[in-house]
Amino acid sequence: MTSRAWATGTLVVLLVLLAVFAAVTIPWHRPPAPRADQLAALGSLPADKVARARQFHAELRPGSYGAMAIGLLVALVLGLTPLGAWIVTQVGRAFGGNWVAEALLGGLAVVLVAEVITLPFAAWRHVVVVRYGISTQSWGAWSVDLLKSWAVGAVIGGVALLGFYTITHFAPRWWWAFGAAGAAGLVVLLSFVLPVLVEPVFNKFTPMADGPLRTELIALADRDGVPVRDVLVADASRRTRAVNAYVSGLGPTRRIVVYDTMLTEATPDEVVSVVAHELGHAKDNDVLIGTILGALGTAAAVIALFLLGSWSGLLRLADVDSIGSPRAIGLMLAVVTVAGLVAGPAQAYVSRRIEARADEHALTLTGDPETFEAMQRRLGTVNLSDPDPPTWEYVISASHPSTVERMAAARAYARGER
């Protein structure tokens, strides 16, 4: 069998494994949240706050969707014209055309072009969130965080690019196999590393002071059978007034993290309700499941990229000889960007199902639907969430059930509906 035949067979096997694993692990059924309850919940929210949240999102949309459209256009220009290959060549020429320089520095240069062109849209968003009182950051602090995110992305991207093109350089016929394995391994590694090494780059974490709330959160985790290493407070107030809490890490690195804004804006019972939701993710191994799905999907994507590389029309447009060449980074960026946009609605749908299951877990664990509903009302109000977003936007990008859906689920739970 040829390398292409092996790649095709392996891709089919990976896609079957991905489909079976998703079918078994993703909660396709969601707890009831009747539309009548959603409308009643919407009517119970202060009309002025609902109007303010909707106006906030209306002002964000031009920047958000403008960035998406321009980002797609830039990726297509870099990938479907010789421009991307030219940038990589020019960067590599300064180092004598060395393939390592082309792969690492050339690849980062192509990605940086896309980041810089869409930067005005990020600035637009910052203007809006500051105007509505969500962000507490000055332009200086915002710029520092932006540079930090670029630096983290450059390190992770550099490792991925250098590893990928090292494989394509030394195994030009079988790079799809080694690349798929390496990409899957990187996804798994990042799931463990990011919470420990990257989160502290953006926030300072301090142990929650001993007291009734910390004791209750530890007891809640113990009762749920989810061991946690510690309860930490993140200094989120240095950048936002939004409230949140989450459970971070896997195994021995798992910890409960509460925003300091949550401690000032919410009642202790509401904090417990949010943490109960996050414990649901840990209890159902959502991070691990997501990691496995991501690893399988990434491996399949690498093989699909290899097979796509035989499409001579695309290679001619990009002015490259092989998709495994560093000069084809722009083409790879274009393919990944288009694939991400196409897969977005499906990923959002799956995410909503997982979040709904975590909501059900919180209701069952606490047995307190009234506090759960109050917590959702507070989260939506403080974070300026659109309580009942337009259907088209909900389908395309909503990663969580809407505020009124979650309030309706609490009401249905209180009536004994499961």
Distances (CA, A) of 74 to 204, 236, 320, 396: 35, 33, 18, 21
**Where do we find the tokens 């993710």?**
281
Measured CA angle at 319 (ends 318, 320), to 5 deg = 95
Domains of the chain, by residue range, sit at 3-27+46-202+286-344
Strands in 231-234's sheet, in edge-to-edge order, are 205-207, 231-234, 255-259, 245-248
How far is Cα of residue 305 from the mean position of the Cα atoms in its chain?
Answer: 22
Where is 389: in which H helix or E strand?
Answer: none
pTM over 0.85: yes
Query: What is the spatial distance between Cα 102 and Cα 271, in angstroms, rounded to a whole number?
Result: 49
User: Residue 269: what residue type?
Assistant: D
CB-based contact 269:371 (threshold 8 Å): yes
Query: What is the spatial distance between Cα 361 and Cα 277, in angstroms, rounded to a whole number?
Result: 6
Query: What is the spatial distance between Cα 92 and Cα 4, in angstroms, rounded to a whole number?
Result: 30
Mapped onto helix, strand or coil, the DSSP state of residue 232 is: strand
Mapped onto helix, strand or coil, the DSSP state of residue 245 is: strand
Q: Which residues of the chain have pLDDT under 70?
A: 1, 250, 252
Measured CA angle at 72 (ends 71, 76), to 5 deg = 120
Query: What is the spatial distance between Cα 309 and Cα 315, in angstroms, rounded to a whole number?
Result: 7
Query: What is the spatial distance between Cα 235 and Cα 373, in angstroms, rounded to a whole number?
Result: 26
User: Residue 156: what residue type?
Assistant: I
- What the block records as the tokens of 234 is 């993140």
H helices of 119-174, in order, are: 119-131, 139-170
Look at residue 184 in the predicted model and tell me its pLDDT.
94
Measured CA angle at 180 (ends 179, 185), to 5 deg = 95
> Hey, how many other C-beta atoms are within 10 angstroms of the C-beta on 178?
17
pLDDT digits (tens, 9 = 90+) for 153-211: 999 999 999 999 999 999 988 999 999 999 999 999 888 887 778 888 888 999 999 99
Return the HEC string of 292-314: HHHHHHHHHHHHHHHHHCCCHHH
Query: What is the spatial distance between Cα 118 and Cα 137, in angstroms, rounded to a whole number?
Result: 20
User: Residue 184: what residue type?
Assistant: A
**Helices 268-283 and 369-383, axial angle in degrees (round to 10):** 100
Look at residue 360 in the predicted model and tell me its pLDDT.
96
Look at residue 190 in the predicted model and tell me its pLDDT.
87
pLDDT digits (tens, 9 = 90+) for 292-320: 999 999 999 999 999 988 788 999 999 99
- What the block records as the tokens of 154 is 């450059």
Q: Is 68 exposed, middle or buried (0-12, 13-18, 19+ CB in 10 A)?
A: middle
Torsion angle (degrees, nearest 10) of CA 385, 390, 394, 397 = -80
**Where do we find the tokens 């274009």?**
334
Distances (CA, A) of 87 to 113, 307, 315, 327, 375: 10, 25, 16, 8, 50
Query: What is the spatial distance between Cα 330 and Cα 110, in angstroms, rounded to a whole number?
Result: 7
Q: Is 245 exposed, middle or buried (0-12, 13-18, 19+ CB in 10 A)?
A: buried
